[in-house]
Amino acid sequence: MAEAALQQTATDARLASLTLPTGGWSEAARADALSRVKSMGLPHRRDEYWKYTRPDTLTQADVISAAVFDEGTPIFNDIDSLKIVFVDGVFDEAASDDLSLEGVSIERLATSLADIHWARDLYGVLETRGQTPVQRPLATLNTAFATDGVLLHVTGKVSKPINLQYQHKSECSDAFLHHVIRVDAGAEVTLLEAGPAAARFNKVMEVDIADTGVFHHVRAQGRDHERRAATHIFARLGQESTFKSFTLTKNGVMTRNECVIELTGDDAIAHVAGACVGDGDFHHDDTVFITHDAVNCESRQVFKKVLRNGATGVFQGKILVKPGAQKTDGYQISQSLLLDDDSQFLAKPELEIYADDVACSHGSTSGAIDETALFYLRSRGVPQDQATDLLTLAFLAEAVDEIEDEELRTEIVDRLSGWLERHRN
């Protein structure tokens, strides 16, 4: 009873600190989300899916300030792309490109206020579906209170990536963004995301992929170390559709990335991957839930974490194969490389299978640098620091290789190499 009362008090305080946007086609979805978050309450440490990660700083009313660091040249800056910039969750028109590109319509949630809009059938819908069987109240909070985001309706094969750049300039910023993406049959798009976004950041992305549609997503989270973030991706895949997402995380005192995917059409493919490198006061949580609800679908979860100086990594991944989802191919691997004795990796891999013609596997390991391989490199004249970096990059390679585009893959490897060099003992 006492725990429930404390949770309700925390929820009430958080809701009281926010203002519910009104008007337009999203109003009904927001009202429903507000009702749901009041009913479920915000997460607390006793929740099963939060036992490895303290949600306090993500749910409290007051924002813990986060120092602003010089980001340097933004990642993906040299990639030919359409750039859309948000500063502390607010759209920066002057820094953004013209929001027009062949094969996709691009609008903003904040300015799309008509009573009828294609996004009305999606806003909050996939997030609501993703609340079963596990409640995700921070995503529901976002649906209710998000003030901006992009609405992408992809109708063809888009010639270049759409690049969402998130800048952090206020030490006490508290940002909500909600993106809605519809990929039509046969259409294809690549979405890039990069930047620290805010002192505290809550983001939801809902992605609906029609039959034979293709969605590629590459994200880089960093560099401001004191930032806190809770991000959510909800995706629904049609027949022969493809969803591939990769996340690079460098630094960040608290990051929780959730990904909830439904494969509802036969022969669909969903890959989710991540590589993170953390040093010191660093807590990184990947929570993934993939549901197979169609025949002959493939899913991959590949997560690698490099941790040092007391950093903590968390992985919670589940594959649910529903009755009738025969010929499912589900693969899940989560591994950590601990560069000292003070860091820790907490993993909870799960399989729940109700079909008998499937190939599903999961594995999770933690370990140190391979001393034999390190000795081999050093015996051939490679300095210890460089040898350690080479072995670390080799460890991360399986996750990074999930990125199909070679230019983007090279950019990610360069950033990882730079971080390792800066964080040598």
**HSE of 210, CA atoms in CB hemisphere, 13 A:** 13
Is 219 inside any structural domain?
yes
- Token pair 């039959």 is found at 211
| 234 φψ region: left (φ > 0), alpha (ψ -120 to 50), beta (else) | beta
> Of all residues in the chain, what percent are helix, strand and coil, respectively (each to 5)?
25, 40, 40
Residue 32's φ and ψ, nearest 5 degrees, are: -65, -45
Q: pLDDT per residue over 198-251, tens digit each?
A: 999 999 999 999 999 999 999 999 778 899 999 999 999 999 999 999 999 998
User: For a pLDDT cut of 70, what percent of the chain falls above it?
Assistant: 98
Q: What is this structure's pTM?
A: 0.96
Do residues 388 and 369 make contact, with C-beta atoms less than 8 angstroms apart? yes
Instruction: Say which range, 19-28, 145-154, 201-210, 325-334, has the weakest mean pLDDT.
Output: 19-28
Q: pLDDT category, 9, cuts 50, 70, 90?
A: confident
Q: pLDDT per residue over 384-425, tens digit each?
A: 999 999 999 999 999 999 999 999 999 999 999 999 998 876
Q: What is the pLDDT of residue 290?
A: 98
Is 395 inside any structural domain?
no
Alpha-carbon distances of 393 from 252, 267, 358, 385, 405, rounded to whole Å: 20, 33, 32, 12, 18
**Could you tell me the residue range of the domain that residue 18 belongs to?**
2-370
Task: Name beta bridge partners: 271.
Answer: 244, 300
Do residues 285 and 255 make contact, with C-beta atoms less than 8 angstroms apart? yes
User: For a pLDDT cut of 90, what percent of the chain falls above it?
Assistant: 91
Is 218 inside any structural domain?
yes
Do residues 130 and 33 make contact, with C-beta atoms less than 8 angstroms apart? no
Helices (H) and strands (E) in the chain, counts: 8, 19
The string of DSSP codes covering 284-313 is EEEEEEEEE-SSS-EEEEEEEEEEETT-EE
Is 399 inside any structural domain?
no
Do residues 205 and 234 make contact, with C-beta atoms less than 8 angstroms apart? yes
Within 10 A of 358 (CB to CB), how many other CB atoms are there? 17
* Diameter of the chain measured on Cα atoms: 70
Which range in 67-76, 154-163, 215-224 is most confidently predicted, on average pLDDT?
154-163
Q: What angle do CA 76, 109, 260 make, to 5 degrees?
A: 70
Do residues 303 and 273 make contact, with C-beta atoms less than 8 angstroms apart? yes
Q: Is the pLDDT assigned to residue 7 strictly greater than 90?
A: no
Q: How many residues does the chain have?
A: 425
Q: Average pLDDT of the chain? A: 95
Q: H-type helices in 259-405, by residue range?
A: 371-379, 384-400
Average pLDDT estimate for 161-181: 97
**HSE of 407, CA atoms in CB hemisphere, 13 A:** 11
Do residues 276 and 248 make contact, with C-beta atoms less than 8 angstroms apart? yes
Q: Is the pLDDT assigned to residue 172 strictly greater than 60?
A: yes
Q: What is the pLDDT of residue 149?
A: 98
Closest C-alpha to 222, from 194, 203, 200:
194
Q: What is the pLDDT of residue 3?
A: 61
Is 421 inside any structural domain?
no
Instruction: Say which range, 110-119, 160-169, 398-407, has the weakest mean pLDDT.
Output: 110-119
Instruction: Say which range, 35-39, 68-72, 246-250, has the weakest mean pLDDT.
Output: 68-72
Is 392 inside any structural domain?
no
Q: pLDDT per residue over 310-363, tens digit each?
A: 999 999 999 999 999 999 999 999 999 999 999 999 999 999 999 999 999 999
Q: pLDDT category, 4, cuts 50, 70, 90?
A: low
Q: pLDDT category, 5, cuts 50, 70, 90?
A: low
**HSE of 89, CA atoms in CB hemisphere, 13 A:** 22
DSSP state at residue 121: G
Q: pLDDT per residue over 263-299, tens digit each?
A: 999 999 999 999 999 999 999 999 999 999 999 999 9
Average pLDDT estimate for 306-313: 96
Q: What is the pLDDT of residue 115?
A: 76
Is 78 inside any structural domain?
yes
Alpha-carbon distances of 209 from 33, 148, 246, 320, rounded to whole Å: 23, 22, 17, 20
Q: What is the pLDDT of residue 69?
A: 85
Q: How many domains does the chain divide into? A: 1
Is 216 inside any structural domain?
yes
Do residues 388 and 219 make contact, with C-beta atoms less than 8 angstroms apart? no
